[in-house]
Structure 1
Amino acid sequence: DEMTNIAYRMKELATQGASDANGDAEWAAQSAEYAALTAELDSIMKNTSFGGTLLLEGTDNKFGAGAVEFQVGSSEAETLEVDISAALGTAGTPTAGVGFGIDQIEAEGTTAGTFENVGEAQDHLALVDNLISDIGTARSALGASMNRLEHTMTNVTNMKENTQAASSTLMDADFAAETSNMTKQQLLMNSGISVLSTANSTTQMIGSLLR
């Protein structure tokens, strides 16, 4: 998102520079900001990392090298691949489009990375248009994968809740049913004791009569 904002500001500066109404002072001022923004884009590309792993550019970067695979479930088949390597560009010379073509932007112009006349500003316009397009392509791929991940998370959460409910049904006691069973058993026991007590009394009475 921040790279998109930077690219649009660069487009605005290049558009302003692509006019004969500018003089050397105006082109110098526009180019100074333009070059600073390009440097920031380059810094974002080279330094964005997670867990010490470079993500966008550099040696053994993840997304620039090809599809990145995420495990999203408990089985081997439940994976998700995110591939934005085509939009990021392939390794090589600046004209090969390394890092959204940022290297090519840095090399363009009589003084690298700046514009000093209308022609150079127009050249940068075309490069920035490609930059905006490539960033948009990468963002759309990432956004689609993020949306899919959200649905995957929801589905896994539902599976977890259903599994816990099934486990509870199998393992947890039904307090009302168990209380009812206990009461029934207590009543049966008390009734048995009462019957035995009566039987013992009857035996004692018969023994007294016989004596």
Structure 2
Amino acid sequence: AMSMMQTAEGAFDEMTNIAYRMKELATQGASDANGDTEWAAQSAEFVALSAELTSIMENTSFGGTDLLDTADKFGAGNVVFQVGSSAAETLTVNISTDLANVKTAMTSSSTRAATGTSTTNGTFSNVADAQAQLGFVDTLIGEIGTARSSLGASMNRLEHTMTNVTNMKENTQAASSTLMDADFAAETSNMTKQ
């Protein structure tokens, strides 16, 4: 369970890095210091990064199962992990709404219209287009952050559960040892006396 969630969190971490780079590009593009050549270069990288975000969402997997795609594991609803020896000891993780919001924010880039020229698929060729993408990236960063925090809360809960299970195991073994193990010195003394 922890490895699966760490894989998803690693994907979110990289998505955050990509989103910050997209924000940097849009910020650079939102200046009249750029010309057509600069806007084209910034826009090309912005679009490539947007495509990589989609690829991460669709292709992040654990044990052959997609994790972040809206139809699989975390995107499909409740993911239940058995965390103890009884049927009641489970951990349910549900970040599907957060993932859907991330996907919506990513998709909105391709249909975003800015004042002046219409932006398609995250491209920008003037200040107004780049400024419109700034809003998109801010929304995207916020949605990724929300999904990461939901997943992180579940990871923290699992860490505490693991610590508690380890504690119960150690104490049960200690109790068993107290009951079952012989006091070697006392038994040797008794044997010698007999």
With normalisation by structure 1, the TM-score equals 0.77
Q: Which runs of 5+ in 2 are unaligned?
A: 1-12, 113-117
Give a deviation string over 1:57-114, Cα, whole Å, max 9, x none: 15x311111122211111222111222212211xxxxxxx562522222444544331
Question: Would you say the 8 A contact 1:100–1:135 is kept in 2?
Answer: no
2:40 aligns with one of 13, 28, 48: 28
Tell whether 2:177 aligns with 1:168: yes
Match of 1:81 among 68, 85, 92: 92
Distance 1:178 1:103 in 2: 75
Name the structure 2 match of 1:191: none
Q: One-letter code of the match for 1:31?
A: S
Q: Write the distance in 2 (CA, Å) between the matches of 1:142 and 1:118.
A: 36
Letter in 1 for 2:44: A
Of residues 51, 60, 65 in structure 2, which corresponds to 1:53?
65
Paired residues, what number?
177
Tell me how far apart the structure 2 counterparts of residues 56 and 182 of structure 1 sit (CA, whole Å). 66
Q: Deviations over 1:175-196 (max 9, x none)?
A: 11110110111xxxxxxxxxxx
Higher RCO (Cα < 8 Å, 6 or more apart): 2
CA contact (8 A) 1:101 1:131 kept: yes
* 1:30 shift after superposition: 0.5
Q: 2:51 matched to which residue of 1?
A: 39
Residue of structure 1 equivalent to 2:10: none
Alignment pair present for 1:125 and 2:125: no
Q: CA deviation at 1:133?
A: 0.4
1:192 equivalent in structure 2: none
Determine which structure has more spread, i.e. the larger CA radius of gyration: 1
SS at match of 1:20: coil
Residue identity in the other structure for 2:82: Q
Identity of aligned residues (%): 76
TM-score (norm 2): 0.84
Match of 1:76, SS state, is coil
In the alignment, structure 1 segments of 5+ residues that lack a partner are 90-96, 186-211
Residue 100 to residue 132, structure 1, CA distance change in 2 (3 Å):
farther
